[in-house]
């Protein structure tokens, strides 16, 4: 399961990650003991691949780009979802929501 960004990601350095970039979950942390009002704070580190082909062919993720932060902090997971969904789905959903805020929900797609 991974996330596909269906728009160009323009970076402030002048570089651009082309349409079709893939985001995968590297690792995630949910502070379950810190839940408040039904919300669990979470942080997720991701890998970003320049294309779906790069990901499926096992090529290396994009790295060393100073103005692209692959860590999403301040994410929120609901306690009710935590009880019913897998960790992978929870983290994918949280990162998808964060990416949708930046690029628009119509430009972010979960591929399973």
Q: What pairing do the DSSP bridges indicate for beta strands 71-78 and 16-17? A: unpaired
The whole-angstrom distance between residue 18's C-alpha and the CA centroid of its chain comes to 16
pLDDT at 66: 64
pLDDT at 26: 93
Which tokens hold the place of 61? Answer: 């993720």
pLDDT at 71: 86
What pTM does this model have? Answer: 0.88
Half-sphere exposure of 55 (CA within 13 A, CB side): 18
Q: What pairing do the DSSP bridges indicate for beta strands 108-111 and 16-17? A: unpaired
Dihedral angle over CA of 17, 21, 27, 29, nearest 10: 80
* pLDDT tens sequence for the chain (112 residues): 999 999 998 777 778 888 999 999 999 999 989 999 999 999 999 998 989 999 999 999 988 776 666 889 999 999 999 889 999 999 999 999 999 998 999 999 999 8
């Amino acid at each position: 399961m991974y996330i596909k960004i269906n728009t160009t990601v323009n970076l402030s350095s002048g570089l651009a990650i082309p349409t079709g970039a893939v985001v995968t979950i590297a690792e995630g942390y949910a502070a379950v003991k810190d839940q408040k009002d039904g919300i669990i704070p979470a942080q997720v580190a991701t890998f970003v691949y320049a294309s779906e082909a790069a990901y499926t062919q096992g090529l290396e993720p994009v790295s060393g780009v100073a103005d692209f932060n692959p860590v999403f902090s301040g994410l929120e997971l609901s306690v009710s979802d935590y009880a019913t969904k897998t960790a992978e789905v929870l983290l994918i959903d949280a990162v998808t929501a964060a990416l949708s805020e930046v690029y628009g929900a119509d430009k972010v797609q979960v591929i399973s």
